[in-house]
Amino acid sequence: MSLVSNRRPVLDGLFSSCHPTPLEDSLTSMQRQRNTMNLLTESTFCYQFGNQHKVKEPNGRRKTYLCYQLKLPDGQTLHKDYIKNKKKQHAEICFIDKINSLNLDKTKRYDIICFITWSPCPFCAKELVAFIKDCPHLSLEIFASRLYFHWIWGYQVGLQSLRQPNIQVSVMREKEFADCWENFVDNQGKDFKPWEKLTQYSTRIRLRLERILGKTHRTHLASEQSSECIQDENDCVDAIRNLNLDAHHPHYEEWTQDACS
């Protein structure tokens, strides 16, 4: 009884319904105990979130993991969890579905912070933009450990599309890795220990992202006809590149399985 009475003043007015919502149930569970089933192992975190350019793959390819925190403007955390990509659904799409399922009060403001192993692909970037546009009461901050096919024009355009009033995309630094370690890893009470050259790798990736976001989209500088030609040319180049690159794509195994099913 005391648990319920203590949490009601905090939660009153945050939700669109007077009946308990999935988010309220989640908050009750988090208040009772720290749910270690929803925490990453130390080895999974270091392997999947590592920002090294190349790593040995003893546990398979590095996948897309997305850790998120739902907060009030005053910084209070209402909900947090992590998601990984599924066979036929990227982690970003699972994340959108999860937030929608919380039935948040649209008259209230919420901030969402995401830590993600790979920056969003063009499709997921488009879906994230549409999601935030449909939910103006939300703001989204994305911190990526690594950039996903950053040298391909279409993926650069996808990252550029995330430049929206309520969306911010950045690269994880030591501070963000430490925050992710503290909130999403079964760390057994240990402090985060940076791996070798973490800051150096992070700086390189950050500068690369800044160059991508700072580029002026070429279609804004060309006529409509020239723009279509450029698009067709780049589509052909990307298609040729992907013949060799898809095998190294974090979702490649999913794609090939889907194609064969």
For tokens 């990307």, the residue is 238
Distance CA 48, CA 250 (A): 11
Cβ contacts of 46 within 8 Å, gap of 6 or more: 195
**Beta strands in 147-239, from DSSP E residues, in sequence order:** 167-171
Residue of 42, 92, 127, 253 marked active site:
92
Instruction: Read off the DSSP letter of residue 216.
Output: P
Q: Annotate 66-93 with DSSP letters as a single string.
A: EEEEEE-TTS-EEEEEEEE--SSS-HHH
Tokens of 249: 């794509």
Q: Which residue has the tokens 């889907």?
A: 258
For residue 25, count other CB atoms closer than 10 A to its CB: 10
> Residues 196, 200, 206, 207: what is their CA dihedral angle, to the nearest 10 degrees?
-160
Note if 92 is an active site residue: yes
> Which residues does the annotation mark as catalytic?
92
